[in-house]
Chain A
Amino acid sequence: MPFFSLHTPPFTVRIETDSPTLFNDLLRLYPADVLRSAPLAEHIYDFQIDYKKHFSGKSRPYHFRAGSDHFRMADANQLIPTFEWGLNWCVSAYQQQYLAIHAAVLEKNGNALIMPAPPGSGKSTLCALLMLKGWRLLSDEMCLIDPTNGQLQPYVRPVSLKNASIDVVQQHQAGVEVFHRTPDTEKGTVAYLRPTDFSWQQLDTQAKPAWILFPAYQADATEPVALFTMPKADTLLYLAQNSFNYAVFAAEGFNLLSQLVENTESFRLEYHDTRQMLELLEQVLC
Chain B
Amino acid sequence: MLVPLLIQCFRNPKQFLATANAACWSDLLQQARSLGLTAQLKALFERHNMLNELPETVQKHCAWGWRYYQKQRASLFYELMQLEPALAQTNYPCVLLKGAAYQALGLAVSEGRLYSDIDLLVNRSQLSDCKAKLFFAGFFEPAMSAYDKHFYLELSHENPPLYHVKRGTTLDLHFALFPLAGHKNLVTEQVFASASLLEGSCFQVPSLSYLYIHAAIHFFWQEERHKLIKDLIDLDLLYNQLAERQLLQQLLNDSKQFGALEPVVNTLLLVEKLFNRQLPAEIASQLANSPERRNFARALLLRQLQAGTIATLAGAIWYLRGYRHKMHWRVLLRHIWVKSSLMLRQYRQRTS
Tell me if B31 and A42 are in contact (CB < 8 A): no
A–B complex contacts, Cβ < 8 Å, 14 sampled: A41-B22, A42-B22, A43-B22, A43-B26, A45-B29, A48-B27, A48-B30, A69-B33, A94-B64, A96-B64, A97-B60, A97-B64, A247-B71, A249-B71
- Bound form: Cα–Cα A96–B63 in Å: 8
On whether A249 and B30 interact (CB within 8 A), knowing A44-B58, A97-B60, the answer reads no
- Bound form: Cα–Cα A95–B57 in Å: 12
A22 to chain B, nearest CB (A): 19
- Which chain B residues lie closer than 8 Å to A249 at the CB level? 67, 71
Interface residues on A, range: 20 to 34
B226 proximal to A (CB < 8 A)? yes
A188 proximal to B (CB < 8 A)? no
How many chain-B residues does the 8 Å CB contact rule pick out? Answer: 25
Tell me if A44 and B29 are in contact (CB < 8 A): yes
Tell me if B68 and A248 are in contact (CB < 8 A): yes
Tell me if B23 and A41 are in contact (CB < 8 A): yes
- Bound form: Cα–Cα A45–B64 in Å: 14
A68 proximal to B (CB < 8 A)? yes
Interface on chain A toward B: helix, strand, loop, or mixed SS? loop
A47 proximal to B (CB < 8 A)? yes
B74 proximal to A (CB < 8 A)? yes
- Bound form: Cα–Cα A66–B21 in Å: 20
- B47-87: CB near A (< 8 Å → 1, else 0) gives 00000000101101101110110110010000000000000
A250 proximal to B (CB < 8 A)? yes
Tell me if B68 and A14 are in contact (CB < 8 A): no
Q: Within the complex, which residue of B23, B26, B27, B68 is in contact with A96, where a contact is CB–CB below 8 Å?
A: B68
B266 to chain A, nearest CB (A): 25
- Which chain B residues lie closer than 8 Å to A20 at the CB level? none
- Which chain A residues lie closer than 8 Å to B26 at the CB level? 14, 43-45, 48
- Bound form: Cα–Cα A41–B65 in Å: 25
Tell me if B33 and A94 are in contact (CB < 8 A): yes
- A35-56: CB near B (< 8 Å → 1, else 0) gives 0000011111111100000000
B17 to chain A, nearest CB (A): 13
A175 proximal to B (CB < 8 A)? no
B35 to chain A, nearest CB (A): 8
- Which chain A residues lie closer than 8 Å to B68 at the CB level? 96, 248
- Which chain A residues lie closer than 8 Å to B323 at the CB level? none
- Bound form: Cα–Cα A43–B63 in Å: 19
- Which chain B residues lie closer than 8 Å to A94 at the CB level? 33, 64
A57 proximal to B (CB < 8 A)? no
- A194-207: CB near B (< 8 Å → 1, else 0) gives 00000000000000
- Which chain A residues lie closer than 8 Å to B319 at the CB level? none
A67 proximal to B (CB < 8 A)? yes
B15 proximal to A (CB < 8 A)? no
- Bound form: Cα–Cα A46–B61 in Å: 8
- Bound form: Cα–Cα A70–B57 in Å: 23
